[in-house]
Amino acid sequence: MINDRAVKQAIQTIEQSFSESIHALIRTTSFPEIEEPSRKLISDAMLYSLNAGGKRIRPMMLLEMARAYGGEISKTEPFAMAIEMIHTYSLVHDDLPSMDDDDLRRGKPTNHVVFGEDIAILAGDGLLNLASELMIQSAIENAGDIKYLRAMHEIMGASGANGMILGQVADIKSSDATVDLERLDFINGYKTGKLLTAALVAGGILGGADDEEVEKLRSIGKDMGHLFQIVDDLLDVVGDETKLGKRTQIDSKNLKITYPGLIGIEATRAKITEIANRLKDRIHTLRIEPTFLVSLVDFLADRDF
Amino acid sequence: MINDRAVKQAIQTIEQSFSESIHALIRTTSFPEIEEPSRKLISDAMLYSLNAGGKRIRPMMLLEMARAYGGEISKTEPFAMAIEMIHTYSLVHDDLPSMDDDDLRRGKPTNHVVFGEDIAILAGDGLLNLASELMIQSAIENAGDIKYLRAMHEIMGASGANGMILGQVADIKSSDATVDLERLDFINGYKTGKLLTAALVAGGILGGADDEEVEKLRSIGKDMGHLFQIVDDLLDVVGDETKLGKRTQIDSKNLKITYPGLIGIEATRAKITEIANRLKDRIHTLRIEPTFLVSLVDFLADRDF
């Protein structure tokens, strides 16, 4: 439980500095003449979802890995913000009426409920674009150091049509097909696993991890994504809407196939423990101090929100 | 007329190699296991709009500027493909039911008519993401040469929430407001001008143009975007649906404010001639051979599709 509290503390710290940085970034860098009503509108729509109080798991993973391998944290921040922007854009688009049609996210009405479907689509586009702008800007400022380019390449590859987007397509098109565990793992691996993995890998690269460590981080990230999604599935069945800040029973409403639906609640809990234990073993083979990643596994496995 | 033919010839040449390159790129690089049905679906949706036969104005401008300033064309191709992908994604999203609600584009049913709204949104996301992937990949292959990063920065800045996306927001929100010429120029400047300008500027940067030339290209690009949009407005009133490959009278149907609507058809034609002449004067102050850009101005001013 102490570990769990440590991660929650880290999340709070990140959340605080994060909101300020993101606000300043969007308001000043990207929107020089904020009095223009369209600038204010798209800025508000982008900030609305970015500041809706997510867990900031991905930027935290990226920053902590960069720190663990000895990187300069201040130079890593644009990548942390970028990966959260990409995650947020994916939620905004996933929630759209033509996709999952969700009206509640992180305890607040979803982006399209507040701003309309057209602006929500454009706000998502704007977040994906701004993520790329942030990283390329950072790469220019650190020109000559290829690790900034490699980290960006990892993140953009993970979010694209051979990554997160593919997972969303597979998810949409699997709603009423016969889905088995293998298929479910494929969907989760792309939809959630790729970007979580990129957070660890890009963080490691920015910190200066060598290729062997990077490949270990990639393998750990894959299992963490798996863990994350199975817990998400479980919370949709047994979770508390108030704590989660989103509707539960959405998956069964949408006829979505999930782990509890396929193997039952108890077997799902056993699977979570199995993956968490395997992850901890792997984490101990890394060359870095293991506390953060071990705490993160406990946090992901035990979370109720 | 000979100039006009020269540009049409250039477009055909680009179109040919372009379709092949894009097809190969999406099928092989980005989608290694094409037998997976979701991969095939998102790949098909992305290729459908990319291969729907656009004019390829932006990649042509980028490649020709890179050539004019003495750059290596083969290394410039990823950027040419990227800028066309960004343009295409913006059309796919603009055509959506919650935006302009267009059912015909480049003579074919729009993406969401063929693939559904959900896949069309994801195909657009995938194209924007792939554009970024292509450019960062190229930057890694040419590591140590900052011009690849600068070109990418120009393009991503032009397409984002302080560029093309802002223009689309302003356009959506101006439909039934009182719009004057100044406002219309603001909308066009962002919605169309920014990315056209980035095509010239990024091409110049990749070719090795110095800062003074780059700023001249920026100013020329701005006017070219202006010219392009005014002709577009005019064609919506006087154009031929078959040649244009899209519905006409869409703007008046949507109560969109346009140049012909604000100042009439004859004054619009006069404005086109005025901008074209000013552009040619500016082009002659560049250090490069002017034929291509002058032909392009004639082509943009006289086009009937």
Residue corresponding to tokens 């109560």: B255
Contact across the interface for B136 and A149, Cβ inside 8 Å = yes
List all residues of chain A from 55 to 84 with a beta carbon under 8 Å from chain B: none
Cα separation, A122 vs B50, whole angstroms: 20
For chains A and B, CB pairs below 8 A equal 152
pLDDT of residue B247: 65
Q: What percent of chain A has pLDDT over 70?
A: 81
Q: What percent of chain B has pLDDT over 70?
A: 81
Pairing state of beta strands A104-105 and A108-109? antiparallel
CB A185 within 8 A of CB A170: no
Q: Write the residue in A129, A157, A159 that is nearest to B156 by C-beta.
A: A129
The Cα of A185 is separated from the nearest Cα of chain B by a number of Å equal to 14
pLDDT of residue A108: 92
The average pLDDT across A46-50 equals 93
CB B82 within 8 A of CB B194: no
List all residues of chain B from 13 to 32 with a beta carbon under 8 Å from chain A: 30-32
The average pLDDT across A123-142 equals 96
A46 → chain B, closest CA residue: B161
Cα separation, A196 vs B230, whole angstroms: 45
Cα separation, B65 vs B60, whole angstroms: 8
pLDDT of residue A73: 87
Q: Would the pLDDT of B212 be above 50? A: yes
Partners of B143 on chain A (C-beta within 8 Å) are: 146, 149
| Residue B185 sits at the chain A interface (C-beta within 8 Å) | no
A139 → chain B, closest CA residue: B149
Tokens matching residue B122: 């994801």
Q: Write the residue in B46, B121, B146 that is nearest to A143 by C-beta.
A: B146
pLDDT band at residue A2 using 50, 70 and 90 as cut-offs = very low
B119 → chain A, closest CA residue: A169
pLDDT of residue B36: 83
Cα separation, B55 vs B232, whole angstroms: 13
CB B201 within 8 A of CB B172: no
Tens digits of residue pLDDT in A213-266: 999 999 999 999 999 989 988 988 887 666 666 666 666 555 567 888 889 999
Q: How far apart are the first and last CA of chain B?
A: 16
Contact across the interface for A41 and B169, Cβ inside 8 Å = yes
Beta bridge partners of A2: none
The Cα of B146 is separated from the nearest Cα of chain A by a number of Å equal to 7
The average pLDDT across B162-176 equals 88
Tokens matching residue A193: 């696993």
Average pLDDT, rounded, for chain A: 87
Cα separation, B120 vs A103, whole angstroms: 21
CB B94 within 8 A of CB B87: no
| Residue B246 sits at the chain A interface (C-beta within 8 Å) | no
Partners of A137 on chain B (C-beta within 8 Å) are: 153
Tens digits of residue pLDDT in B83-118: 999 999 999 999 999 999 999 987 899 999 999 999
pLDDT of residue A157: 96
Q: What is the pTM assigned to this prediction?
A: 0.90
Q: Would the pLDDT of A21 be above 70? A: no
Q: Would the pLDDT of A122 be above 90? A: yes
Pairing state of beta strands B108-109 and B104-105? antiparallel
B302 contact partners, CB below 8 Å, separation of at least 6: B4
- Which of A62-66, A184-188, B9-13, B277-281 has the lowest average pLDDT? B9-13
Number of Cβ atoms within 10 Å of the Cβ of A286: 19
Q: Would the pLDDT of B33 be above 70? A: no
pLDDT band at residue A302 using 50, 70 and 90 as cut-offs = confident
| Residue A119 sits at the chain B interface (C-beta within 8 Å) | yes
Tens digits of residue pLDDT in B133-154: 999 999 999 987 999 999 999 9
Q: Write the residue in A128, A139, A146 that is nearest to B128 by C-beta.
A: A128
Cα separation, A121 vs A301, whole angstroms: 32
CB B208 within 8 A of CB B171: no
Q: Would the pLDDT of A44 be above 80? A: yes
pLDDT of residue B22: 63
Q: Would the pLDDT of B175 be above 70? A: no
CB B126 within 8 A of CB B42: yes
CB B262 within 8 A of CB B114: no
- Which of B13-27, B197-211, B214-228 has the lowest average pLDDT? B13-27
- Which of A89-103, B13-27, B33-47, B174-188 has the lowest average pLDDT? B13-27
The average pLDDT across B209-217 equals 98
CB B140 within 8 A of CB B133: no
Average pLDDT, rounded, for chain B: 87
Contact across the interface for B156 and A149, Cβ inside 8 Å = no
The average pLDDT across A81-86 equals 96
pLDDT of residue B2: 44
Dihedral of CA B163/B138/B87/A165: which sign? Answer: negative
Contact across the interface for A172 and B119, Cβ inside 8 Å = yes
- Written as one string, the DSSP assignment of A38-63 is HHHHHHHHHHHHHTS----HHHHHHH
- Which of B64-78, B254-268, B287-301 has the lowest average pLDDT? B254-268
Partners of A38 on chain B (C-beta within 8 Å) are: 166, 169-170, 173
Contact across the interface for A160 and B30, Cβ inside 8 Å = yes
Q: What percent of chain B has pLDDT over 90?
A: 62
Phi, psi dihedrals of residue B189, rounded to the nearest 5°: -60, -40
Tens digits of residue pLDDT in A200-212: 999 999 999 999 9
Q: What percent of chain A has pLDDT over 90?
A: 63
* 3-class DSSP state of A143: coil
Residue (of A161, A233, A154, A229) closest to A192 by Cα position? A229
Tens digits of residue pLDDT in A179-191: 788 888 899 899 9
| Residue B117 sits at the chain A interface (C-beta within 8 Å) | yes
Tens digits of residue pLDDT in B229-280: 899 889 888 876 666 666 666 665 555 678 888 899 999 999 999 999 999 9
pLDDT of residue B167: 94
CB A79 within 8 A of CB A62: yes
Contact across the interface for B161 and A46, Cβ inside 8 Å = yes
| Residue A145 sits at the chain B interface (C-beta within 8 Å) | no
Top mean pLDDT of A8-22, A285-299, B239-253 is at A285-299
Residue (of A11, A6, A2) closest to A305 by Cα position? A11
pLDDT of residue B262: 86
The Cα of A2 is separated from the nearest Cα of chain B by a number of Å equal to 40
Contact across the interface for A122 and B38, Cβ inside 8 Å = no
- Which of A47-56, A68-77, A169-178, B15-24 has the lowest average pLDDT? B15-24
pLDDT of residue A144: 79
